[in-house]
Amino acid sequence: MAGKDKRIIDNEERLRMAIESTQLGTWEYYPLSGELHWSDECKRIYGLAPGESVNMDAFSEHVFPADREAVGAAIQKAMDPAGTGLYDITYRIIRFDNRAIRWIHPKGKVFFNKRQQAERFIGTVVDITDFKAFEESLLESEQRARIAVEAADMGTFDWDIATGTFYSSTRLLQIFGFSGNRDVSHDELIQRLHPEDRHLRDKAVKDSFESGSLVYEVRIVWPDSSIHWIKVHGKIMHAESREPQRMYGTVVDTTVQKSEEALLEKLVTERTLSLLASNEELKKSEERYARMAEEVRDYAILLLSKEGHILNWNRGAERIKGYTESEVIGKHFSIFYLPDDRKSKLPEKLIRQAADEGRAMHEGWRLRKDNTIFWGSIVITALHDSDNNIIGFSKVTRDLTERKLAEDRLKKYTSELEAQNKELEQFAYIASHDLQEPLRKIQTFTEVLEKNIEDPEAAKKYLERIKSSAQRMSQLIRSVLEYSRLSNADIVYEPVNLNTVIENVKLDLELLISERGVTIEQGELPVVRGVPLQMQQLFFNLVSNAIKFSDESPWLGISSRKVPPAEAREYPLLQPGMPYVEIVVKDKGIGFEQKYAARIFTIFQRLHGHKAYPGTGIGLALCKKIVDNHHGHIRVESEPGKGSTFYVYLLASVK
């Protein structure tokens, strides 16, 4: 243990000696307690003996007054927890011993505790006074040299204004382009001034008589026609009468400087021009682009921020979505989406897809400002900066409502056509089947008749059978025709009062009703939208059907009610949002099992034998067809022996 401690002490000593040999002082300052420690070398720099103690007050007092502000600022900056903690400054101090002014260069670092407080501030210091002095002498000698060089290049003159005597130095004559050592008059010199610049000289001389000093820069023309720039400085000496008496001064050739300046100026001008031009070009192209986007009317083109807020808006957007620019800028683009799409986060999904894949496309119903909807085709494209960070999105929307509606219409027509085709196929098959039956019987009974032609009794019987089969066939053909005509009917709806319809049906069935002793209980019926003749056919069939399938003293109830919208929605064939009424036709007849409910509306399907209940099997198929044509619905509830109830849903007439 002792050995290790010793080694550490040795090492520290060595380090101290190494530092001191570099004349580097070290210091430590603990801002929280205010403690300040200086190394011996540090004290030596400040003119203190090794044993003497220091504190911050003494430190501050010995900073040269003019440097105090800078030192305070540097310390504060170093102790700022948000900064680097570094301290590096050169300034002057006043030594403790002889109050001599010295330049020092301290460097340090501040260490912060966990609470971000400056805890320890340590560093080094070196006396740089000698270095500073050297630096200054260097600067001074440099300046002196420069002045000398310049002086060597200068021409001088001395002009006795009163006598007109003009003295020019040899250098001045060289500058003006005179060679040799001859005398040159003042006028000769003035003659060399560029004619365009002569007035500048005249004015400068005139001004100098007032101000006492002369300065001007003009061109001179040498005998070889070359042009040179000169700069003239002069000073007026006044006589006791205050009249200008003498002027002496210097002339410098500034041609090189001027041409450099001119070249620079030219370059700057050119560069500026080309910058202006390209700037103009850029502006134009930007403007063209912006104007183009703005003017496009068939597409909504907008820019979105990274979060989906609208940044700009074009005419197309205004036309398609109905908002003006001022209304919509800054809003989130989800305002164009239907509540359900907003709930399912569709806008956010599209933005995310565009961010992930570069582009997102979508078609769907969108909301305009006035809450109407349009079918939009949308492309959202992510926009990137040069570092490939997403800076926003462009969104192009087309209003394809017309196309969508046309497509939907086409789809509807197609499915209608398909349904009609299928129905037609079924119809043709069943019709041929049922029409063949009486025909086959006619053929068969004709054959039997031939065999029994000698027996009048039998012949009469088979002729009777042939006749009834032919009648049945003609009846079938008539109802098939009626049914097929219905399919092709042009629907023109008009208000139809069902009370009147039932009255007419009763008149048509008058004989049957009185023969069979039919009771009809009828409530007040509504006015519906329909084709009058078809309504007549519908209720004729329902009423006669009810009478036919009742055994004795038939009873019929006919009533109606309005259909609540929620209930109407259960029948997909009804038009949504339209008012419907339900007409109920109830009998107490023989009924049938509920499982045959769908079959009875199919053409030529009979649930009961010919013998007891003759019929073509078309009546209820006809009813269904009529109701379908009227965007309605028909259904039946039945129980054998108890009777059947038919429910018919029809569009109510709105006044």
Partner 1 sequence: MEYLFIDDDADDQEIFGMAVSEIDASIKCVFADDGIEALEMLQNLQALPSCLFLDLNMPRMNGTECLEEIRKIEKLRAIPVYMYSTSSDPAIMEECRRLGATDFIVKPPGLGALTEILKQIMLPN
609 binds partner 1 (CB under 8 A): yes
Nearer to partner 1, 375 or 549 (CB): 549
Tokens standing for 587?
A: 């009998």
594 binds partner 1 (CB under 8 A): no
Nearer to partner 1, 469 or 537 (CB): 469
Asked whether 653 and 526 are in contact (CB, 8 A), the reply is: yes
Strand 118-127 with 155-160, pairing? unpaired
CB of 361 to partner 1, least distance (A): 45
| 445 to 429, 433, 462, 533: CA distances (angstroms) | 25, 19, 6, 39
For the chain, give the longest Cα–Cα distance.
180
443 binds partner 1 (CB under 8 A): yes
- Start-end of H helices in 452-497: 456-487
Q: Which residue has the tokens 């339900």?
A: 582
CB of 440 to partner 1, least distance (A): 5
Stretch that binds partner 1, among 170-178, 234-242, 412-420, 433-441 (CB under 8 A): 433-441
CB of 439 to partner 1, least distance (A): 7
140 binds partner 1 (CB under 8 A): no
CB of 578 to partner 1, least distance (A): 37
288 binds partner 1 (CB under 8 A): no
Nearer to partner 1, 63 or 431 (CB): 431
Stretch that binds partner 1, among 231-239, 240-248, 267-275, 430-438 (CB under 8 A): 430-438
User: What is the Cα–Cα distance from 636 to 646, expressed in whole angstroms?
Assistant: 4
CB of 415 to partner 1, least distance (A): 23
Q: What is the CA 65 to chain-centroid distance, rounded?
A: 61
User: What is the Cα–Cα distance from 276 to 262, expressed in whole angstroms?
Assistant: 20
CB of 359 to partner 1, least distance (A): 50
CB of 607 to partner 1, least distance (A): 5
Helix (H) or strand (E) holding 108: strand 101-112
- Choice from 439, 481, 489, 598 touching partner 1 (CB under 8 A): 439
- Choice from 22, 608, 614, 639 touching partner 1 (CB under 8 A): 608
Nearer to partner 1, 361 or 598 (CB): 598
Nearer to partner 1, 444 or 544 (CB): 444
Stretch that binds partner 1, among 367-375, 387-395, 434-442, 497-505 (CB under 8 A): 434-442
Asked whether 218 and 200 are in contact (CB, 8 A), the reply is: yes
Which of these, 185, 216, 187, lies nearest to 199 by C-alpha position? 216
Tokens standing for 492?
A: 């023109």
423 binds partner 1 (CB under 8 A): no
Stretch that binds partner 1, among 49-57, 224-232, 440-448, 618-626 (CB under 8 A): 440-448
At residue 482's C-alpha, the angle toward residues 477 and 484, to 5°, is 95
- Interacting residues with partner 1 between 309 and 368 (CB under 8 A): none
134 binds partner 1 (CB under 8 A): no
Nearer to partner 1, 29 or 445 (CB): 445
Total interface residues for partner 1 by CB under 8 A: 21
- Interacting residues with partner 1 between 454 and 493 (CB under 8 A): 465, 469
Catalogue the E-assigned strands of 206-284. 213-221, 227-238, 244-253
| 650 to 297, 496, 531, 535: CA distances (angstroms) | 44, 11, 11, 10
Which of these, 368, 380, 653, lies nearest to 535 by C-alpha position? 653
CB of 646 to partner 1, least distance (A): 19
CB of 625 to partner 1, least distance (A): 20
433 binds partner 1 (CB under 8 A): yes
Nearer to partner 1, 341 or 434 (CB): 434
Tokens standing for 595?
A: 């499982």
616 binds partner 1 (CB under 8 A): no
567 binds partner 1 (CB under 8 A): no
440 binds partner 1 (CB under 8 A): yes
Nearer to partner 1, 550 or 653 (CB): 550
The one-letter code for the residue type at 174 is Q
Residue 519 — left, alpha, or beta (φ > 0 → left; ψ -120 to 50 → alpha)? Answer: beta
Nearer to partner 1, 469 or 536 (CB): 469
Asked whether 639 and 595 are in contact (CB, 8 A), the reply is: no
- Choice from 167, 297, 429, 575 touching partner 1 (CB under 8 A): 429
SS3 readout for 359-406: EEEEEEEEECCCCCEEEEEEEEEEEECCCCCEEEEEEEEEECHHHHHH
CB of 322 to partner 1, least distance (A): 56
Q: What is the CA 423 to chain-centroid distance, rounded?
A: 51
Tokens standing for 295?
A: 């003017």
- Choice from 259, 444, 629, 645 touching partner 1 (CB under 8 A): 444
Q: What is the CA radius of gyration of the chain?
A: 58
Which of these, 206, 214, 224, 200, lies nearest to 248 by C-alpha position? 214
598 binds partner 1 (CB under 8 A): no
Binding site for partner 1 (CB under 8 A): 429, 433-434, 436-437, 439-441, 443-444, 447-448, 465, 469, 604, 606-611
